[in-house]
Structure 1
């Protein structure tokens, strides 16, 4: 991810703020659509961070168990 990509925590916190704004219902339709689109982007970024963390955990687990995929 690039240097301008928010961390997982930053993406999560901004997404929480966006959800609160949308739930408040004080935005125009255009503002709501912009918030929604930003929220979708942030959700994808957060998921990429989680997927990367899962891959690292899986790799560490595989290395610790000698490469076998047994649980």
Structure 2
């Protein structure tokens, strides 16, 4: 009898939303912290966790860029409506 549970469905990290990647990363960290996984499983979890963390970072960097662009556009609109502002 195998000690493994039913096989996990591994989803491509690149397709995950921020929330999905974050939630899976939390699960991976929790399993690693338990310390009961085999070395091979732990290494796989670590690699998956690194990929998930990178995916979360991609989302956060993208969100920051969108916010910066929106602020810049808002500042430009504000400058245009007040005659260019004091210089």
Question: What range describes the TM-score normalised by the shorter chain of this pair?
Answer: 0.7 to 0.9
Cα RMSD between the aligned structures? 1.8
Q: Deviations over 1:16-70 (max 9, x none)?
A: 00000000001000000000000000000000000000000000000000188xx
Find the aligned partners of 1:16 and 1:57 in 2 and give their Cα distance.
26
Find the aligned partners of 2:21 and 2:58 in 1 and give their Cα distance.
11
Which aligned segments of 4 or more residues in structure 1 are displaced greater than 4 angstroms?
Answer: none
- 1:60 aligned residue: 70
Count of aligned residue pairs for this structure pair:
66
Using the size of structure 1 for normalisation, the TM-score is 0.87
Rg larger for: 2
User: Whose relative contact order is higher, 1 or 2, with alpha carbons under 8 Å and at least 6 apart?
Assistant: 1
Unaligned segments of structure 2, at least 5 residues = 1-13, 80-87
Unaligned segments of structure 1, at least 5 residues = none
Using the size of structure 2 for normalisation, the TM-score is 0.71
Q: Aligned-pair distance for 1:5?
A: 1.1
